[in-house]
Amino acid sequence: MKKEPQTVDVKGTQLKCPVCTCNKFWTRKAQLNTSTASFFGFDWANRSATCFVCSECTHIYWFLG
């Protein structure tokens, strides 16, 4: 687990928080439970999500897979 927030690139674009424009994020891995995955129609997914949490305002980006 890294101790410092990092800049994050997704498909070649650097993530920037839409709330506070910060570009440093904490990275977290999350397991989606089956009911959550089903609710969102993601049964086909591997039920693992990556979360990037803004280091300033804690706005969360979720990415599946």
Secondary structure (H, E, C), 8-61: CEECCEECCCCCCCCCCEEEEEEECCHHHHHHCCCCCCCCEEEEEEECCCCCEE
For position 19 contacting Zn ion by CB under 5 A, the verdict is yes
For position 17 contacting Zn ion by CB under 5 A, the verdict is yes
Site stretch for Zn ion (CB under 5 A), options 2-10, 11-19, 32-40, 42-50: 11-19
Site stretch for Zn ion (CB under 5 A), options 2-10, 12-20, 29-37, 39-47: 12-20
Which positions from 39 through 58 interact with Zn ion, judged by CB under 5 A? 54, 56-57
